[in-house]
Copies of this chain bind each other. A is one copy, B any other.
Amino acid sequence: MSQTVFGVDIGGTTVKIGLFDTAGELLEKWEIPTRTENKGAEILPDVAKSIQEKMKERGLERNDVAGVGIGVPGPVDGEGIVHRAVNLGWGEFSVKEELSGILKMPVMAGNDANVAALGEMWKGGAQGYSNVVLVTLGTGVGGGILINGHILSGSTGAGGEIGHIHIEDHETENCGCGNKGCLEQYASATGITRIANRILKESTDPSLLRDGEVSAKTVFDAVKQNDALAIRVAKEFGRYLGDGLAAIACVVNPEVFCIGGGVSKAGPVLLDYIRPSFLEHVFHGSRGTGFVLATLGNDAGIYGAARLLLDN
Contacts and interface: CB of A to CB of B under 8 A. Distances in A.
B283 A158 contact: yes
A50 interface: no
Interface stretch (A217-225, A244-252, A301-309): A244-252
A179 B281 CA distance: 6
B286 A166 contact: no
Nearest to A288: B156
Contact of A246 (B160, B166, B253, B284): B166
Contacts of A280: 179
A247 B250 CA distance: 11
Question: Which secondary structure dominates where chain A touches chain B?
Answer: loop
Nearest to A182: B283
Contacts of A164: 250, 282-283
Contact of A154 (B131, B161, B178, B281): B131
A154 B253 contact: yes
Nearest to A243: B166
B254 A154 contact: yes
Interface of A: 75, 78, 83, 131, 143, 145, 147-148, 152-162, 164-166, 177-179, 181, 243, 246-255, 280-286, 288-289
